[in-house]
Amino acid sequence: MSMTIDELRRILVECAGGDETAPELAGDIAEVEFEELGYDSLALIETASRIERDFGVKVPEDRLVEVKTPAELIGIVNGQLAGAV
Amino acid sequence: MSVVTGVGVIAPNGLGTEPFWEAVLAGRGGIGPLTRFDTTGSGACLAGQIADFQAAQHLPSRLLPQTDISTRLALVAAQWALDDAKVDTAELTDYDMGVVTGNASGGFEFTHREFNKLWSMGSEHVSVYESFAWFYAVNTGQISIRHGMRGPSSALVAEQAGGLDAVGHARRTVRRGTPLVVTGGVDSALDPWGWASHVAGGSLSTATDPARAYLPFDAEATGNVPGEGGAMLVLEDPEAARARGVPHVYGEIAGYAQTFDPPPGSGRPSGQRRAIELALTDAGVTPADVDVVFADAAGLPEQDRAEAAALEAVFGAAGVPVTATKPLTGRLFSGAGPLDIVTAVLAMRDSVIPPTAGTLTPAPEYRIDLVRGDARPATIETALVLARGRWGFNSAVVVRSVDQ
């Protein structure tokens, strides 16, 4: 099991609003910074909480405050998932 | 001096200032059976619901997961008020714009949903946005963030008097040197949890006919009806408003006062009379200068009696026209006072006093000139707006016309 960019996109929209088909979210957002996408630190806390429920892994707080892009967040989640197996 | 340069209304009988005002003059109300959930067995069934508001049509989708319905309504009313005043926030200095709102209920519906999750699924399911979505200051905060207004800002909580207190404090904020303040109040608590609190308050009408449910000063008054919505105003220093080319000035917030009632059982009279007298003094006017009073109009005999007595004490028997449009909207909590201020400035503009809808037979013991039936033509230069809140809050605002 691993998390894809599309799954993260869905979670972001569910947690903090936005539109999956909107130009700023629809394209390749993996390397775009969350700040540029319009998701602030609170949105990321909400996202981490949803990831924990959906994927059963906890993103450590100290790493969450440093994470800048979707790719980084997916890396942390999938790293945990791999380790959890 | 602080002048009203923009208004935004979201009421159960009208979205937007002119639709609301047309409804008021036509006696068209927004009270009906509460439809958001089954009220059977709760003892009351009527509310002033805003039926045709789709938040997603008015607000960015990013704001929706973090806002209660009351905040959504407040954000839209604030936007409309700023549009009305033709404020371009990009052309003003962020610290020269403040936000002061009143709030009585917080984000009831949002919190009800999150508490439901907490109870049934566990704390990890509670939205992080609950941390502020419930909060009395949330409307001030969200308006401030959305429009980049970093000047002095605050939130006032005084039950149903808090909306007038917000306007009073906004006036003070302008006088202290902030050129522009967005102010007013919007409340909504018509979810099951909010409804339970309304019912527990013990003041709700148990009538089922919307036209006979809320009859202020009527001999048959037995209670009132809660509603949702309110109004936001743009309050400005006149010089600053002129400097940026304001399109119109609705009127001046000329006076304000707030008092508390003595403790229950003390035998001393309500503090409302003192609030009226202090507000008139603050405005530098006498009772004879007042052309109309927008009463709190509780629709409960004991409170109607106290308000009628306060009005008679200040103005003499039937000494001033008194009206209340609340029977068309229900009681909007912090939204009521600001909405009555909007009604007052529109009454000034159009030289007409809207009638107290619903009330047919005023109790003869209340010696007040209650405007009923048709709207009454009148030249209005000075209006007094009153609001009372549970636990003894009394607030009064004097609105005065301004030479254009």
Cα–Cα distance for residue pair B90/B236, rounded to 1 Å: 17
Comparing CB atoms, the residue among A15, A42, A53 nearest residue B125 is A53
**B141: chain A residues, CB-CB within 8 Å:** none
B145 touching A (Cβ < 8 Å): no
Cα–Cα distance for residue pair B130/A42, rounded to 1 Å: 11
In the prediction, which pLDDT does B166 show? 98
Section A56-71 average pLDDT: 93
pLDDT digits (tens, 9 = 90+) for B167-212: 999 999 999 999 999 999 999 999 999 999 999 999 999 999 999 9
Determine what percent of chain B is predicted with pLDDT higher than 70: 100
Cα–Cα distance for residue pair B84/B75, rounded to 1 Å: 14
Contact B52, B20 (CB under 8 A): no
Beta bridge partners of B99: B182
In the prediction, which pLDDT does A19 show? 77
Q: What residue in B sits closest to A22 (Cα-Cα)?
A: B61
In the prediction, which pLDDT does A83 show? 85
Cα–Cα distance for residue pair B318/B297, rounded to 1 Å: 16
Cβ–Cβ gap B61/A45 under 8 Å:
no
Cα–Cα distance for residue pair B348/B129, rounded to 1 Å: 42
Section B219-223 average pLDDT: 96
Contact B44, B269 (CB under 8 A): no
Cβ–Cβ gap A18/B61 under 8 Å:
yes
Q: Calculate the average pLDDT of chain B.
A: 97
Q: Which of A15, A24, A59 should one mutate to test binding to chain B, selecting the residue with the greatest count of B CBs within 10 A?
A: A15
pLDDT digits (tens, 9 = 90+) for B107-160: 999 999 999 999 999 998 999 999 999 999 999 999 999 999 999 999 999 999
**A11: chain B residues, CB-CB within 8 Å:** none
Residue B346 banded pLDDT, cuts 50, 70, 90: very high
Q: Which of A11, A12, A39, A46 should one mutate to test binding to chain B, selecting the residue with the greatest count of B CBs within 10 A?
A: A46
Query: Nearest-CA neighbor of B323 among B300, B356, B360, B352?
Result: B356
Cα–Cα distance for residue pair B185/B166, rounded to 1 Å: 8
B334 touching A (Cβ < 8 Å): no
Cα–Cα distance for residue pair A57/A84, rounded to 1 Å: 8
Contact B371, B330 (CB under 8 A): no
What's the Rg (C-alpha) of chain B?
A: 20
Range of weakest confidence among A4-13, B233-242, B348-357, B387-396: A4-13
Comparing CB atoms, the residue among A14, A18, A53 nearest residue B124 is A53
In the prediction, which pLDDT does B14 show? 98
Query: Nearest-CA neighbor of B146 among B99, B211, B103, B107?
Result: B99
Cα–Cα distances in Å, from B94 out to B78, B152, B171, B179, B180? 16, 10, 18, 11, 10
Cβ–Cβ gap A42/B64 under 8 Å:
no
Distance from CA of B308 to the nearest CA of A (A): 50
Q: What residue in A sits closest to B66 (Cα-Cα)?
A: A16
Residue A28 banded pLDDT, cuts 50, 70, 90: confident
Section A4-14 average pLDDT: 92
Cα–Cα distances in Å, from B161 out to B58, B188, B306, B309? 28, 15, 16, 19
Helix or strand run (H / E) with residue B175: helix B162-175
In the prediction, which pLDDT does B404 show? 65
Cβ–Cβ gap B125/A38 under 8 Å:
no
A52 touching B (Cβ < 8 Å): yes
The answer to whether the Cα torsion of A38, A41, A43, A44 is positive or negative is positive
Token digits of residue B382: 């000075």
In the prediction, which pLDDT does B182 show? 99
| pTM for the structure as a whole | 0.96
In the prediction, which pLDDT does A84 show? 67
Residue A17 banded pLDDT, cuts 50, 70, 90: confident
Question: Residue B198: CB partners within 8 Å, gap ≥ 6?
Answer: B44, B189, B204, B226
A75 touching B (Cβ < 8 Å): no
**A45: chain B residues, CB-CB within 8 Å:** 128
**Does residue B7 register a pLDDT over 90?**
yes
In the prediction, which pLDDT does A25 show? 79
